[in-house]
């Protein structure tokens, strides 16, 4: 199966963060939660290392997260309320759009 469209991944990632406690989750939690919406993903897409990322799937989710950061829907690393390394946090604007 081909990895889902970026727009579909971004939608699910934003929805997941909006529903997460305090609008925050680790990258690993996000990969798994969003993948649950795409049962067609293969084991290879989910587990085989890809470039410098955990997997092709993780790489794509990271790419989509960066697009949402650029759009102001997720805080940049180190920003937001009580930022933590490796934790993604939805912005108020992101909540409105989710």
| pLDDT mean over 30-34 | 98
Query: Which of 10-19, 41-50, 87-96 is predicted with the least confidence, judged by mean pLDDT?
Result: 41-50
What gap in Å lies between CA 58 and CA 35, rounded to an integer? 9
> Which tokens sit at 87?
């934790």
- Which domains, and CATH codes, for the chain? 6-97 (1.10.10.2260)
Decide: 88 and 21 in contact? Cβ < 8 Å: no
pLDDT at 1: 58
Query: What mean pLDDT value characterizes the chain?
Result: 95
| pLDDT mean over 83-93 | 96
Name which residue leads in pLDDT, 25 or 49. Answer: 25
How many CB atoms within 10 Å of residue 90?
A: 26
Residue 36 has pLDDT above 80, yes or no: yes
pLDDT at 6: 97
The radius of gyration of the chain from alpha carbons, rounded to an integer in Å, stands at: 13
């Amino acid at each position: 199966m081909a990895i889902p469209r970026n727009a579909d991944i971004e939608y699910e990632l934003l929805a997941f963060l909006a529903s997460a406690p305090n609008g925050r989750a680790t990258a690993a939690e996000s990969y798994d939660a969003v993948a649950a919406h795409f049962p067609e993903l293969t084991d290879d897409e989910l587990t085989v290392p890809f470039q410098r990322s955990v997997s092709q799937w993780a790489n794509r989710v990271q790419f989509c997260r960066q697009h949402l950061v650029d759009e102001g829907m997720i805080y940049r690393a180190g920003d937001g309320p009580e930022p933590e390394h490796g934790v993604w946090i939805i912005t108020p604007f992101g909540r409105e759009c989710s």
